[in-house]
Amino acid sequence: MNITFTKLGFLTFLILMQFGKSSALNGQELSIFQEFFGDQYYEDDQKISKKEFIDKIYSVPESAMNWDKYKKNSLWSTVTALATGGAIVWWVSKDPGESTVAPAITTLAGLTIGAIFTQKSMVNRRKAILSYNQNASSSYYRITPSNHGLGLTMHF
């Protein structure tokens, strides 16, 4: 049986590719995709339930802290949106002769504060997912390209 170096190299490459796919040691990455009827939760390319997603987030302390900040800021964003809605009703229901300065200022302040809380909640949600992806037992093997070709790398 005459196997040349290129054939042996190709066979080794195929074996390493399979090894790289199957040897992940909890190197799973979480992600959220927003859809029309709510968020979709994924671990790598597998769809998971919201409960499984949150359980995984809370398994890493840094992620749990950021997820709690996300929930708190999201709650304040919702409360601010409701208050802004009340200010808009107050503004619209004013009689034509009455001053609308106070309702206008209240509405603009509510919109600004709500935007700040919404932005902070989205940043904290992103931080929670990224910190999970970086810290959750992230030792795994992967075939990665380099300046010298392909190589097997182990990420910690």
Query: Domain for residue 19, yes or no?
Result: no
What's the number of domains the chain is made of? 1
72 close to 117: Cβ distance less than 8 angstroms? no
Beta strand 46-48 with 30-35 is unpaired
Higher pLDDT pick, 149 / 60 = 60
Answer yes or no: is 84 within a domain.
yes
The per-residue pLDDT of the chain, averaged, comes to: 81
Residue 148 lies in a domain: yes
Q: Evaluate if residue 108 carries a pLDDT over 60.
A: yes
* Domain range enclosing 105: 61-155
The average pLDDT across 101-126 equals 94
Q: In what order do the strands lie in the sheet with 30-35?
A: 30-35, 38-43, 46-48
Q: According to the model, what pLDDT value does residue 9 have?
A: 56
In this structure, is residue 1 part of a structural domain?
A: no
Residue 98 forms part of a structural domain = yes
